[in-house]
Amino acid sequence: MDIRAATPDDARRISALLRDLTGKYIAHEFSEEGAGRLLESMNEAAIKSYLESGYRYHLAEENGELAGVVAIRDNCHLYHLFVSERFQGRGLARRLWEVAKAVCLDAGNPGVFTVNSSRYAVGLYEKFGFVRQSEAVDISGVISIPMKLESAIRE
C-alpha cells in the first residue's frame, strides 16, 4: 500500500470515493437539502478547489486502486477521512491519519486537531483520541459532531 500527497489531477478519483461512501453511510441522516449540500461539497470541482487552496490531501493506493483519502484544512482540521469498503478493517484509516498528523506536526501544529464527525465515524475518531465537544450540530441540514484532539503525538 502506497500513501502519497494528492494533486489536483486526483480530484475526480477522490470525489468518486467520497461521494460513494457518503451516499452509503452518512447522507441518509441528513435532510434532502443537507445531503445535497454535503455531496456538492465533494464534487470534482470542489476537491480540485480545496487542493489548489492549500488543503493537504493524501491518498492510499494499492496497484493503482484508490483505497483511501485523508485531508487536512488549515494544518489542524481533519476535513476528510474515507477508506474504500474493500480496504476497511485493515488499519488504513489509522495509517492515513498518522501520515496527515505527522505532516501537520512537522509544519508547526502544536498537537491540537479538530474534526466535524459524522455519527458513523465517532467511534473511529475516539480511538484516535478525539473527544466530543458537544452534541450533534445541524447546520443547514448537515449534521456533525464537533470533536477535538489535544496533545497529539507521533506514533
Burial of 85 (0-12, 13-18, 19+ CB in 10 A): exposed
Task: Give the pLDDT confidence score for residue 153 in this predicted structure.
Answer: 73
With 80 as the cut, is the pLDDT of residue 14 above it?
Answer: yes
What pLDDT does 36 receive?
94
Please provide the average confidence, as pLDDT, over all residues in the chain. 95
- List the CATH code of the domain at 2-149: 3.40.630.30
Pairing of strands 131-132, 142-149: antiparallel
Buried b (16+ CB within 10 A) or exposed e, 123-143: ebbeebebeeeeeeeeeeebb
pLDDT tens for each residue of 36-62: 999 999 999 999 999 999 999 999 999
Confidence class for position 155, pLDDT limits 50, 70, 90: low
Instruction: Calculate what percentage of the chain has a pLDDT beyond 90.
Output: 93
pLDDT at 118 over 70: yes
**DSSP letters along 8-40, please?**
GGGHHHHHHHHHHHHHHHTGGGS-HHHHHHHHH
- Average pLDDT estimate for 89-96: 97
82: closest CA among 33, 146, 22?
22
Three-state DSSP at 69 gives strand
Residue 100 has a pLDDT of 98
DSSP string, 86-127: GGTTSSHHHHHHHHHHHHHHHTT--S-EEEEE-GGGHHHHHH
Helix (H, G, I), strand (E, B) or coil at 50: helix
**Domain spans of the chain?**
2-149
